């Protein structure tokens, strides 16, 4: 909640802006903990901040392995490296999974919004065969989807609520560590410290 | 050891070649498990394969947090996304830490080789203040290093020995899962399977 913008969010918005000519500037790596206790790491796409907050949205398929992993351990770290400005954001936090069965109508609305905001091409992926399962040849690969259709069952929204951000600028050789704590009225407060790169 | 090249290594060498015009094509994200049990994720630089093997080398500073993390849990996953060819390699394996106190003379030699192969600029970083600690202003920031000097104490080599590689090509929409097992004579054998992207 709160009207104050997290201080690292301004840096991140600036980095996104100055790297926006690169298609891959909205891609980052999301690390979670695998069911076998080993780290798991994959590239995902930034789908915006949740309205008026510093929470980061990611679309994914409920059938991917990361869903089970996050259910088992909800903590994750984003590593977002901007290849043009040489800036890195390591964003650590807890992930909330919003699928079609979520009992909260507000969350379902947010999920629907994220579905509507995605391209028809990326929507069609959720109708494809089960990700990670062996590829069966000869299966029909033609799907169609009316653009007005709401989110399909496999569509799922991940919302990462950051509680620590480690910012590194390799051009200026500056590093800032942002740490949050909850104030008495439950509002998230950020402090920052300059640390050695 | 064995003379057969891991099948995913050929794909990786090809991806490195076709993205070599981009400076950041040798950067990837390394996920480990933090001491608090949460995922940890940062960008590091590929420093080559260990001679005649599929083991991946990374230089780092012994004073960084990842060293303690890897000592506590040696498993890691590399996520290497090639921004020009749209290929992703998720490389899961176990990391061996080689610092200056390693009792194995062969490993010390490999560490020395990696030190010699790095630039004077990157060598100087290991003489800087303790990474991650609060920045003290006004400290002298001038160091010098004779180019013939061997590895300094803080210099450390990480060697990741892969046992699973998940390859994804977003242009052809192909995904291959490479899995290793040890044969009866202790040699690593790879099998691959085509899975749904």
- Is residue B110 included in any domain, yes or no? no
- Is residue B122 included in any domain, yes or no? no
Q: Which two tokens stand for residue A17?
A: 């802006």
Q: Which two tokens stand for residue A159?
A: 């919302």
Distance CA A78, CA B127 (A): 29
Q: Which two tokens stand for residue B47?
A: 């420093």
Exposed/middle/buried for residue A126 (C-beta within 10 Å: 0-12, 13-18, 19+): buried
- Say if CB B190 and CB B179 are below 8 A apart: yes
Tens of pLDDT along A2-26? 457 899 999 999 999 999 999 999 9
The verdict on B59 touching A (C-beta cutoff 8 Å) is no
* Bridge partners, residue A177, by sequence: A166, A193
Distance CA B95, CA A38 (A): 12
- Is residue B20 included in any domain, yes or no? yes
The verdict on B37 touching A (C-beta cutoff 8 Å) is yes
How much of chain A, in percent, has pLDDT values that exceed 70?
96
Which helix (H) or strand (E) segment holds residue B41: the answer is: strand B39-45
- Is residue B2 included in any domain, yes or no? no
pLDDT at A139: 60
Beta carbons of A195 and B90 less than 8 Å apart: no
The verdict on A193 touching B (C-beta cutoff 8 Å) is yes
- Is residue A58 included in any domain, yes or no? yes
The total number of structural domains that make up chain A:
1
pLDDT at B1: 45
Average pLDDT, chain B: 95
- Is residue A135 included in any domain, yes or no? no
pLDDT at B141: 63
- Say if CB B76 and CB B32 are below 8 A apart: yes
- List A residues 77-136 in contact with B (Cβ-Cβ < 8 A): 77-79, 81, 83, 88, 90, 92, 128-135
Model confidence at B143: pLDDT above 90: no
Number of other CB atoms surrounding residue A19 within 10 Å: 18
User: CB-CB: which of A41, A130, A131 is closest to B77?
Assistant: A41
**Residue ranges in chain A assigned as alpha helix (H):** 7-18, 65-72, 105-117, 120-124
Distance CA A165, CA A144 (A): 41
What is the pairing mode between strands A87-98 and A155-169? Answer: antiparallel
Distance CA B146, CA A167 (A): 32
Distance CA B161, CA B49 (A): 10
Distance from CA of A136 to the nearest CA of B (A): 8
Q: Which residues of A touch B35 (CB under 8 A)?
A: none
pLDDT at B4: 72
DSSP state, residue B81: E
- Is residue A72 included in any domain, yes or no? yes
Neighbouring C-alpha atoms within 13 Å toward the C-beta of B192: 14
A1-10, A52-61, B50-59: least confidently modelled range: A1-10
- Is residue A2 included in any domain, yes or no? no
CATH code of the domain containing A176: 2.30.110.10
Distance from CA of B121 to the nearest CA of A (A): 13
Model confidence at B178: pLDDT above 60: yes
**What ipTM does this complex have?**
0.96
Q: Which two tokens stand for residue B114?
A: 């990696």
Could you list the residue range(s) of the whole structural domain that residue A62 is in?
7-129+143-194
User: CB-CB: which of B27, B73, B88 is closest to A81?
Assistant: B27
């Amino acid at each position: 909640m709160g009207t104050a913008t997290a201080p690292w969010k301004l840096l991140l918005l600036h980095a996104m802006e100055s790297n926006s000519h690169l298609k891959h500037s909205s891609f980052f790596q999301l690390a979670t903990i695998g069911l076998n206790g080993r780290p798991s790491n994959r590239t995902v796409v930034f789908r915006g901040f949740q309205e008026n907050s510093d929470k980061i949205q990611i679309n994914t398929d409920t059938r991917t392995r990361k869903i089970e992993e996050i259910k088992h351990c909800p903590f994750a770290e984003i590593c977002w490296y901007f290849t043009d400005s040489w800036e890195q954001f390591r964003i650590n936090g807890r992930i909330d999974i919003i699928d079609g069965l979520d009992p909260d109508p507000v969350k379902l609305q947010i999920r629907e919004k994220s579905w509507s905001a995605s391209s028809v091409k990326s929507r069609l992926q959720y109708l494809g065969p089960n990700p990670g399962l062996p590829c069966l040849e000869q299966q029909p690969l033609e799907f169609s989807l009316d653009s007005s259709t709401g989110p399909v069952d496999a569509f799922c929204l991940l919302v990462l609520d950051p509680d620590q951000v480690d910012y590194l600028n390799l051009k200026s050789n500056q590093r800032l560590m942002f740490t949050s704590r909850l104030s008495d009225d439950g509002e998230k407060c950020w402090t920052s410290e300059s640390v050695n790169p």
